[in-house]
Structure 1
């Protein structure tokens, strides 16, 4: 078994409406995470750590930020033959349409893949949080002589209704795949027990195909989605479709609530996702920033990225992103400060210096990139509040999100 026999395709995702306003100017995989990373760094790092270093990222919607990040981050030397490259939706002589689904996206870039020699194709999502050695998945696939292997995980009934539920034999062979079922009880699928709760085997959106099987089904059908159409079709055709049960941590961060909760878990006593695993590092862009300067401040359960300047501030249960400047007397609790692209920059003739001013209080909020918050502003805990949409901020699931690049006037209360 050689990892070099597998080509990796990472799907860049759609509009990401459930993550708005974080997706106001960028695609889901380009969203900042844990102070210094992007979500796309997770699957790319999993691939590189597994020895799968021939990676294409399929993009379509608001992709400029994602393109820039990948271009500046993943550069292989001339002798490794590895790459991370972008394949964008494009017009050609036969079609002028955009991607219409996960399977349609792969179909429309197949002409770029036909001359790649790899025997297997691994298809991933660009907005999931997990650490997996894909060699274990490939080994399972080969041992079963599978045509397709679906990585799966046990989840509770509520989460299973948002995923693809798998009904399989004891051998792991899949009998049925039901995408986002509305009534689990009617499916007559026997649940498994996990932590004393009924759990269902559900698709992680990770698919390993024999290359010929993938190309054949995409060439002979117009089906648009893997979970809804392609995989059920292959099961009906009696192809060898298997479920590989993953026992580690996995999280879909496709909503503001799940993004916030996954971020807050990073600063818990025992984080489920481990950024400190030397054997499986998470790679990202090297920015060559100075160490963070923290003066006369009190920080508890907090992650602070590079290049920050924090003075006389109390920070609790929060994540502070790159180049954040916080002035004296401020309090930040249960919040995510995404950080800044610059310390100062002239934009439309005006010199911009994003910062969090004196005496600011921020609770249970996500502060977007390059935001300026004037002195003595208060952003209060909105648990129990209805969703709100304003020019400068939104509220989703009781979490206040300040939009990218906004300026909040001094003494504003949100």
Structure 2
């Protein structure tokens, strides 16, 4: 269901889309996703060959009819800011629609940067008040899901006593660590909230009838007046750790259960698996839904060129050139060049920002992947130059490793951005 400016089927309330303001949190330092986040924030990391992670929450909001969006940024924000500015110029189409960046700033009232999710929203309250929304929708900038946020809003408005709604997702027992776990009573009212439990005994009472647990997705709806009230205590910097546990004791906080695919992309392994899942015959996250497209920057690139290459279960982005190579269960990003004789398996090749060369001490080096290479279980970040006869295999099955050319995290090889790997390198 999608909200319009008129009435909604069989519901006793009317919601105008401009009464909702979306706040997307641009993420922290993203240390668990290093080295992909060395020079960019986590939401700016490439995803699915042609997208960036930030495109997911923005698209979910726009597809749900909520077109007033603030994105709060702080760490390594240049790449993210540039992408948003180049991609989302909605205010040129509709005066009430916008996707705008609010960067962390020092002001007369606060000399500190954002110090947590709640603190970030607290510091932009003046901008929120200017929009005069009735409801504030808060999203994370680095999660993977395709959710009808209008249905979430409908659930929030069905009970006039509800002041805060929390989107939850059912997870198995082995995934509870590192997430916020909630216990919902009759009608969805949240009775307990345990942030990042260290032991199963802490959340045993939260187990649902089918044995699973409800995890906080980091997606919230606040009545604006409630949001202002709960942020008055400046000692509370985080929604999950501090704001919500106190709020359930004083206010009506409701759980909304989303039963679709959701992934909190917090580690190299999670990022790797979420990308390769897209190559499945029936992926859990579907990029091919006409009514809920994933938006991203429009590029004036030529079609991909495939010259006597073998391609199986792969996503091939625009502007790529594949010459007599093999690509199996992998993602190939925009403009990527792959030379003859190279074989790529179960890998993410993020692509190039431009065709041609970049300079190193030895002179100009052609970017792309050279001839007769073999690459398995590897993430190659953007704008890398991989020479001839390179073998990225992790033959010793190392879980953690680092040299001047590659890093290994969670058993997955990562080639950092702008790396040049010499001919014959083997790992």
Match for 2:399 among 377, 386, 392?
A: 386
| 1:113 lines up with 2:128 in the alignment | yes
CA distance in 2, matches of 1:317, 1:244: 35
1:296 corresponds to: 308
2:40 corresponds to: 26
CA distance in 1, matches of 2:279, 2:53: 17
| 1:62 lines up with 2:79 in the alignment | no
How far did 1:270 drift? 1.2
| 1:264 lines up with 2:264 in the alignment | no
SS at match of 1:209: strand
CA change 1:346–1:361 in 2 (3 A) is closer
CA distance in 2, matches of 1:186, 1:40: 33
How far did 1:2 drift? 2.4
| TM-score normalized with structure 2 length | 0.93
CA distance in 2, matches of 1:19, 1:154: 24
1:122 corresponds to: 137
Q: Decide whether the 8 Å contact of 1:365 with 1:381 is kept in 2.
A: no
| 1:278 lines up with 2:293 in the alignment | no
When structure 1 is superposed on structure 2, of 170-179 and 65-74 the one drifting more is 170-179
When structure 1 is superposed on structure 2, of 79-88 and 335-344 the one drifting more is 79-88
| 1:191 lines up with 2:207 in the alignment | yes
1:147 corresponds to: 163
How far did 1:95 drift? 2.3
CA distance in 2, matches of 1:281, 1:345: 34
How far did 1:376 drift? 0.7
Residue segments in structure 1 that go unaligned for 5+ positions in a row: none
Match for 2:263 among 251, 259, 264?
A: 251
When structure 1 is superposed on structure 2, of 352-361 and 117-126 the one drifting more is 352-361
Q: Decide whether the 8 Å contact of 1:344 with 1:351 is kept in 2.
A: no
1:4 corresponds to: 18
SS at match of 1:103: helix
CA distance in 1, matches of 2:94, 2:196: 44
1:324 corresponds to: 336
| 1:16 lines up with 2:30 in the alignment | yes
Q: CA offsets, 1:251-308, max 9 Å, x none?
A: 0111100000111110012100000000100000001100000000000000000100
CA distance in 2, matches of 1:121, 1:137: 12
CA distance in 2, matches of 1:325, 1:187: 50
CA RMSD, 1 decimal: 1.5
2:119 corresponds to: 104
- Name segments (4+ residues, structure 1) moved above 6 Å: none
Q: CA offsets, 1:213-269, max 9 Å, x none?
A: 0011112442000001001111122x0100001011100111100000111110012
Residue segments in structure 2 that go unaligned for 5+ positions in a row: 1-14
CA change 1:167–1:266 in 2 (3 A) is same
SS at match of 1:395: strand
Q: Decide whether the 8 Å contact of 1:164 with 1:181 is kept in 2.
A: yes
Q: Decide whether the 8 Å contact of 1:19 with 1:255 is kept in 2.
A: yes
Match for 1:41 among 55, 69, 77?
A: 55
CA distance in 2, matches of 1:409, 1:346: 14
| 1:161 lines up with 2:174 in the alignment | no
CA distance in 1, matches of 2:181, 2:395: 34
2:249 corresponds to: 236
When structure 1 is superposed on structure 2, of 102-111 and 384-393 the one drifting more is 384-393
| 1:366 lines up with 2:396 in the alignment | no
CA change 1:337–1:188 in 2 (3 A) is closer
CA change 1:185–1:346 in 2 (3 A) is closer
Q: Decide whether the 8 Å contact of 1:383 with 1:398 is kept in 2.
A: no
How far did 1:188 drift? 4.1
CA change 1:398–1:240 in 2 (3 A) is same
1:134 corresponds to: 149
CA change 1:186–1:85 in 2 (3 A) is closer
Q: CA offsets, 1:67-104, max 9 Å, x none?
A: 00000000123434211100111011232211110000
| TM-score normalized with structure 1 length | 0.96
SS at match of 1:115: helix
CA change 1:108–1:347 in 2 (3 A) is farther
CA distance in 2, matches of 1:378, 1:384: 14
CA change 1:12–1:354 in 2 (3 A) is same
How far did 1:190 drift? 4.6
Q: Decide whether the 8 Å contact of 1:42 with 1:128 is kept in 2.
A: yes
When structure 1 is superposed on structure 2, of 18-27 and 345-354 the one drifting more is 345-354
